[in-house]
């Protein structure tokens, strides 16, 4: 954008332009689209959005950005980007291999404690594949948080019988206080 402003001899603070890169509404437009309509008009760059998009597309194409396979323009003023997937895939693979086991780790969560409670199979009912799913998801969340530096306490309450246990405890409490009368008497 600064190249365009310099070429057109426009004195404008580039920070005032909203950047709205989004997934394309249609796959035929590309992977991402960016509207430049808000940049046009007399209060901004004083150019028609379509001609502004075409000028920017030319500049970006000339930059030959390896991660971008194609740049197109659609009315009323969208820049459309199609990614160079093989190139991006190769870059990602190289970064993962270079980092090894440390790939994706950082210290964002250092000093923060998180409790993750997961699975909690009710022992009064049969276990099923959904419990295995929840266990895998819970364990994965724990490991991802730890890789970001969080101190994670994983909890799995075994034999959590649910509401029925609370009902029994409350019943015994009321019975002991004499506030509950059993059908055959309290003896």
Please give the domain boundaries of the chain with CATH numbers for all domains: 2-85 (3.30.1360.70), 104-177 (no CATH)
Whole-angstrom distance, CA of residue 38 vs CA of residue 49? 8
pLDDT at 1: 56
Q: How confident is the model at residue 86 (pLDDT cuts 50, 70, 90)?
A: very high
pLDDT at 78: 94
pLDDT digits (tens, 9 = 90+) for 31-44: 999 998 877 766 56
Q: How confident is the model at residue 142 (pLDDT cuts 50, 70, 90)?
A: very high
Closest CA to 156 of 179, 122, 128, 110: 122
Q: SS3 sequence, 45-79?
A: CCCCHHHHHHHHHHHHHHHCCCCEEEEEEECCCEE
Whole-angstrom distance, CA of residue 73 vs CA of residue 31? 13
pLDDT at 109: 96
User: What is the rounded average pLDDT of the residues 116-126?
Assistant: 80
Closest CA to 79 of 116, 108, 51, 111: 51
| 55 or 81: which leads in pLDDT | 81
Q: Which residue has the tokens 């500049």?
A: 59
β-pairing, 113-117 vs 151-155, is parallel
Phi first, then psi: what are they for 49, rounded to 5°?
-55, -40
Q: How confident is the model at residue 7 (pLDDT cuts 50, 70, 90)?
A: low
Whole-angstrom distance, CA of residue 169 vs CA of residue 174? 9
């Amino acid at each position: 954008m600064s190249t365009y402003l310099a070429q057109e001899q426009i004195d404008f603070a580039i920070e005032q332009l909203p950047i709205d890169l989004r997934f394309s509404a249609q796959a035929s437009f590309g992977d991402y689209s960016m509207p430049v309509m808000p940049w046009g008009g007399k209060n901004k760059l004083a150019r028609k959005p379509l001609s502004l998009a075409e000028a920017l597309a030319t500049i970006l194409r000339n930059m030959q950005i390896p991660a971008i396979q194609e740049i197109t323009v659609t009315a009323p003023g969208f820049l459309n980007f199609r990614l160079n997937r093989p190139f991006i895939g190769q870059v990602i693979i190289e970064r993962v291999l270079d980092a090894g086991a440390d790939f994706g780790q950082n210290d964002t969560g250092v000093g923060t404690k998180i409790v993750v409670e997961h699975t909690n199979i009710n022992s009064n009912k049969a276990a099923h594949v959904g419990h295995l799913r929840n266990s895998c998801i819970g364990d994965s969340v724990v490991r991802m948080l730890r890789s970001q530096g969080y101190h994670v306490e994983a909890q799995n309450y075994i034999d959590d019988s649910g509401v029925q246990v609370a009902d029994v405890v409350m019943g015994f409490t009321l019975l002991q206080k004499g506030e509950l009368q059993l059908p055959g008497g309290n003896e």
